[in-house]
Amino acid sequence: GAVVSQHPSRVICKSGTSVKIECRSLDFQATTMFWYRQFPKQSLMLMATSNEGSKATYEQGVEKDKFLINHASLTLSTLTVTSAHPEDSSFYICSARDQVRRGAAKNIQYFGAGTRLSVL
């Protein structure tokens, strides 16, 4: 079964509103989680590294004020798309790594099922 849960799976919102996406590790603790976005038929682009108890690390070119990340517990990271616009419409996916048990040495990342955001 899924080891990383992502919610919601789909959201449609009006331009200018903010949308929060949750990513949970289900039976392991994750001090770091990762957020990606993916456009149709394209690659996954790493947006940021979410760090439990500290600030997220953003990739070059990603607006930190636009994509707010909070990692308040060892099992939950949230991504908030603020003042969303149509160009923010995309597939957002999170991932986490079980550093202790499953596949830690193999650098196995477990991905959530993704959130499809459509901004009207």
Residues that bind another protein (CB under 8 A): 32, 34, 36, 42-46, 49, 93, 95-97, 103, 106-114
Distance CA 52, CA 71 (A): 5
Nearest approach, Cβ of 62 to another protein (angstroms)?
A: 13
Compare residues 45 and 74 and give the one whose CB is closer to another protein. Answer: 45
Compare residues 78 and 114 and give the one whose CB is closer to another protein. Answer: 114
Nearest approach, Cβ of 109 to another protein (angstroms)?
A: 6
| Concatenated DSSP letters of 50-104 | EETTS--EEPTT--TTTEEEEEEETTEEEEEE-S--GGG-EEEEEEE--SSSTTT
